Amino acid sequence: MWILLLLLTLLKANSTRALFDQCNHQVKLQTGQKLLINSPYYPALYPRGTSCRYAVEAPKDQVLQFKCELQLQTLSTDLKCRTEVFHFNSEGDEVLTSSEYFCGSGKFERKSFLNRAVISYISNGHSEPPSAVKLKDKLSAGTSTSSTTEAPQAVSIEEQDEEETEAVQEGPEESEEDLGDEVLHVLQDVGVSDALAYVASLLYDDEDARKSRTTTIYLHALPIRSSSKTSGKRARIVTSYPLAPSPRQGGGRFSCLVEAIRPTCSCGWSRTPRIASPTNEEAVLHEFPPMAGVLTKKHGKLFCGAAIIHHHYLLSAAHCFLGPETSSAAQLRVVVGEHDLASAYETFATRRYDLEALILHEEFSQANGQPRNDIALLRTRTPIVWSRNVGPACLPLQPTEDGRKLPLAGHQVVAAGWGTTSYGGPQTHRLLKATLDVIDGQQCRQTLISAGGGVPPHSFCTYTPGRDICQYDSGGALYERINGRLVAVGIVSFGQACATQQPSVNTRVASFIKWIRSKSPEVAYCPGRV
């Protein structure tokens, strides 16, 4: 089954790539730079039967802001928007089935999920090939219709030639925007055969993918900040949609102002809005983008968990790195984007990164099996690449309103890991999760003292009958969802066997924020309460 899905995905990707062979732009923006992407022959209509794609990339850890105005001459009888369609993909994915679809006329605003986004249009009408007269492409020095370009900074409109200035003046007025001298224009003539354009309509028939991942939006004179008509299915075109005067009508035009900006916060994202579960159960695929496993290079065995908090840093437990095969960074690597350790087909997000440094807390100690200051930072040799499925957890940088540190007694946290499902039992291949209750510190101390143990400073306890973390889950984070974001409030430290009458003890991350910052001074961490 997974092999079939892999082949289907590759087929769609190749079909989409062929569709845009004659007009495919890769553009890189600098911080604060603006780019005006116009359709071919703008302000005239682009030719029917053509297709163009623009993949735009901002610097790392920035996002792209799009303000687009569309005027697509979709046939009034085309209830599925197949004759003229505009795509926006916030994740930079070039596969059409993961995009939003637009048709009609109006304005909309969007932001990229991370630092890359893709816009494209596809016209399935019949037309003659465009004229052989080439328009000057202001992003490409050559005549190739596929280009990779870094947009130059501080290009003044006044410094461009007269033809370019006229093109600017003929464009639509930009309300509330002063483009200044940072605006660039993309003008590219294209010609794509109807056979290739038809491939797009075949991609639309993936019903499951469309229901779960796509939205079709029909525009009609919408102000930029108004809500648009949306539907996961292909809803009817609104009654006020402008009728096409001729069955041969097609084509359209669009203009998108794109800007690279710094996001207010970028951490703790998760595909699944609900992380609570009634029992220990398998996590949803990519439910925990910060989740990582720590492996030995020699045996490839996963022996502890970790949580991504930055491109180069992960949180884990110091006690994980005391053995002869785990005490040196050169011996270790981390795996991210993983789900089933026994399978290579359930996800394309899996990557492995070698470690450059192990940073254990200077006051870490362990006596009678009870670690103190049980926290470590792992630094990777190369940066971890973000995606929808891999990204950092937020840190509890801010206390509660009454000054207490998270998590509080009575809260619930979620642990995830590839540990054993029973004490001394086999290690699971698939990522499991468990929702645990945070209990009062005094109650925890009394319970553990009666059993001959205790609670180290800067720790908190969890206890839920029948649910617990277990062996090899150490070092993994305990997450609390705050305003929709995953916040790493704890690190799995130690317990008495698994799922017994004794609580488990976890490192309280909020007590070590100063230490984390001191060991990674170059990092500006994102607050969890945003």
Instruction: Say if residue 277's pLDDT is above 60.
Output: no
Task: Give the three-class secondary structure for 300.
Answer: coil
Task: Give the three-class secondary structure for 14.
Answer: helix
Cis peptide before 290, with omega less than 30 degrees from 0? no
Could you read off the pLDDT of 211-266 as tens digits, one per residue? Answer: 444 555 656 543 333 222 322 222 222 223 333 344 445 689 999 999 999 887 78
Task: Give the three-class secondary structure for 24.
Answer: strand
CA dist., res. 357 & res. 329, Å (int): 5
Catalytic residues: 319, 374, 474
Class of domain 24-126+236-241+248-261: mainly beta
CA dist., res. 390 & res. 387, Å (int): 5
Whole-number Cα distances in Å, 308 to 197, 395, 513:
41, 10, 15
Buried/exposed 291-314: b ≥16 CB within 10 Å, e otherwise:
bbbbbeeeeeebbbbbbbbbbbbb
Model pLDDT, residue 249 = 55
Could you read off the pLDDT of 66-78 as tens digits, one per residue? Answer: 999 999 987 777 7
Q: Can you list the alpha helix ranges (DSSP code H) found in 357-506?
A: 441-450
439: tokens are 């209990």
The residue with tokens 């937020």 is: 394
Instruction: Say if residue 132's pLDDT is above 80.
Output: no
Position 368, amino acid: N
What values do phi and psi take at 444, rounded to 5? Answer: -65, -45
The residue with tokens 């994202």 is: 269
Are residues 123 and 252 in contact, defined by beta-carbon separation less than 8 angstroms?
yes
Calculate ∠ Cα 107-389-414, nearest 5°.
Answer: 115
Residues facing 258 on adjacent strands: 35, 66
Model pLDDT, residue 125 = 63
394: tokens are 């937020």
Model-level pTM? 0.75
Residues facing 185 on adjacent strands: 36
What is the CATH code of the structural domain delimited by 291-520?
2.40.10.10
Provide the pairing of β-strand 34-38 with 185-186: parallel
Could you read off the pLDDT of 7-47 as tens digits, one per residue? Answer: 444 444 444 556 777 789 999 999 889 999 999 999 999 98
Burial class (CB in 10 A: 0-12, 13-18, 19+), 253: buried
CA dist., res. 27 & res. 144, Å (int): 14
Domain boundaries, the chain: 24-126+236-241+248-261, 291-520
CA dist., res. 64 & res. 56, Å (int): 8
